[in-house]
């Protein structure tokens, strides 16, 4: 199913996988994906950049820790061979990784703003409650995530520079 991702990697074509795309990238390259053993991570949560992130194209302009929007039950359980782990938090050890010099995956949603995250939570409120989580508490975590959004701009700059 992910053969097209393997062909992009082989051709060094820039790739940025977000959430499910992050998981597809990992699986296509030989990693392992499945349900997170602790259940769903949802809301606005902090992520922390790791040592392998120093100088990374997507993350070099970002602070050591910053908030991101998340909603995922599945996760990258094991990174693919050769992947560099870039960001994590206490819940998710593989929030971001890089393969080679032009493929990244992020479990978080840099494309979401606070209004989108709130709407998503409200749409999923019954399921969130059924999973034993407090919807009001999760809604209380929501904030804007400008540093997460910066990863999208950094990726766009990277692609633009490669095409000049």
Instruction: Give 80-113 pLDDT, tens digit per residue.
Output: 999 999 999 999 999 999 999 999 999 999 999 9
Residue 164 has pLDDT above 80, yes or no: no
Q: Classify domain 15-151 at the CATH class level.
A: alpha beta
Quick check: is 53 catalytic?
no
Domain ranges of the chain: 15-151
Average pLDDT over residues 42-49: 97
Q: Give pLDDT, residue 2.
A: 81
72 is catalytic: no
Q: Is 111 a catalytic residue?
A: yes
1: pLDDT strictly greater than 70: no
Q: Is the model more confident about 53 or about 79? A: 79
For a pLDDT cut of 70, what percent of the chain falls above it? 99
Which residues are within 8 A (CB) of 65 and not within 5 positions of it... i.e. 6 or more apart? 46, 47, 48, 49
Q: Catalytic one among 19, 69, 72, 94?
A: 19
First to last CA, the chain: 32
Per the residue annotation, which of 22, 69, 95, 109 is the catalytic one? 109
CB atoms within 10 A of CB 14: 16
User: pLDDT band at residue 61, thresholds of 50, 70 and 90?
Assistant: confident
pLDDT digits (tens, 9 = 90+) for 110-137: 999 999 999 999 999 999 999 999 999 9
Query: How many CB atoms sit inside 10 A of residue 158's CB?
Result: 17
């Amino acid at each position: 199913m992910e053969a097209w991702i393997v062909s992009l990697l082989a051709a060094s074509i820039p790739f940025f996988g977000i959430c499910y795309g992050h998981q597809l990238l990992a699986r296509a390259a030989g990693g392992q994906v499945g349900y997170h053993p602790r259940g769903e991570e949802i809301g606005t949560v902090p992520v922390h950049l790791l040592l392998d992130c120093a100088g990374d194209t997507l993350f070099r302009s970002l602070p050591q820790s910053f908030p991101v929007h998340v909603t995922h039950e599945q996760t990258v359980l094991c990174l693919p061979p050769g992947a560099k782990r870039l960001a994590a938090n206490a819940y998710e050890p593989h929030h971001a990784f890089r393969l080679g010099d032009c493929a990244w995956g992020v479990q978080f949603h840099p494309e979401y703003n606070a209004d989108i995250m709130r709407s998503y939570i409200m749409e999923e409120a019954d399921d969130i409650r059924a999973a034993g989580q407090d919807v009001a508490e999760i809604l209380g975590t929501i904030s804007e995530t400008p540093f997460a959004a910066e990863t999208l701009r950094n990726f766009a700059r990277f692609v633009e520079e490669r095409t000049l």
